[in-house]
Chains A and B, each alone.
Chain A
């Protein structure tokens, strides 16, 4: 069974750094694109970027380029989303998702990681 398990909720202060994780299981992690999606409170889904673990080909939405870093650790089947300096506007629910049934179909989703940035 394909599963994506994300790290727990985080409460941070503006300017702090953060790295959240998404561990895939039940499938060959390196062979499927994995993406990150933001959902701000009461708002819609926003695609942040995608990475292909086999070769680390990573593409960012223009809206998030330079704001976050997507990476993977193939040895433990885990993808990461990282901020170097958080802002209050980064407060949101973050999902990872994998295109398994078809490339870029986004058919399996993690449970979401809530990030709260407040002074």
Chain B
């Protein structure tokens, strides 16, 4: 099994750009997904695969990766983007999924 590490909390000024990172050995082999979870709601997929956005996700959300680190970038953060963000990917064996610990994004 492997682990994914995220910063516990990040803040961004309204309208500015923020990057949330996720680091883990398995990310050198597998793409990560990013999920947004607002208080009291189920998670919502915002990025999957190689920087793909599901239908309905604003284009201010983008993903990138380099080596063992994957990043979620929100360009022009909005108040409604305030949420917890989780990365997840297959573990090194490819047979299991592992979630990062989550990053709480505050929009100031």
A83 part of interface (Cβ distance < 8 Å): no
Q: Are B42 and A47 in contact (CB under 8 A)?
A: no
Q: Are A107 and B99 in contact (CB under 8 A)?
A: no
Chain B interface residue count, CB cutoff 8 Å, equals: 24
B1 contacts across to A, CB distance below 8 A: 61-62
Q: How far is the CA of A102 from the CA of B54 in the complex (A)?
A: 10
A44 part of interface (Cβ distance < 8 Å): yes
Chain A interface residue count, CB cutoff 8 Å, equals: 22
A9 part of interface (Cβ distance < 8 Å): no
Q: Which of B12-20, B60-68, B71-79, B88-96 contacts A (4 or more CB under 8 A)?
A: B88-96
Q: Are B48 and A102 in contact (CB under 8 A)?
A: yes
Taking A44-B102, A102-B49, A105-B48 as contacts, is the C-beta distance between A35 and B42 under 8 angstroms? no
A29 part of interface (Cβ distance < 8 Å): no
Residues of B within 8 A of A (CB): 1, 33, 35, 37, 42-45, 48-49, 52, 54, 84, 86, 88, 90, 95-102
Q: How far is the CA of A101 from the CA of B100 in the complex (A)?
A: 21
Chain B interface, DSSP helix/strand/loop, else mixed: strand
Q: Are A45 and B48 in contact (CB under 8 A)?
A: no
Q: How far is the CA of A45 from the CA of B49 in the complex (A)?
A: 19
Chain A interface, DSSP helix/strand/loop, else mixed: loop
Q: Are B102 and A95 in contact (CB under 8 A)?
A: no
Chain B residue at minimum C-beta to C-beta distance from A105: B48
B105 → chain A, closest Cβ, in Å? Answer: 14
User: Chain A, 87-119, contact with B by CB distance < 8 Å: what is the 0/1 string?
Assistant: 000000001010001101111011110000000
Chain A residue at minimum C-beta to C-beta distance from B44: A109
A19 part of interface (Cβ distance < 8 Å): no
Q: Are B97 and A35 in contact (CB under 8 A)?
A: yes
Q: Are B101 and A59 in contact (CB under 8 A)?
A: no
Q: Are B86 and A111 in contact (CB under 8 A)?
A: no
B52 contacts across to A, CB distance below 8 A: 102
B49 contacts across to A, CB distance below 8 A: 102, 105
8 contacts between A and B (CB under 8 A): A44-B84, A45-B99, A47-B96, A62-B96, A95-B43, A102-B48, A105-B33, A106-B45
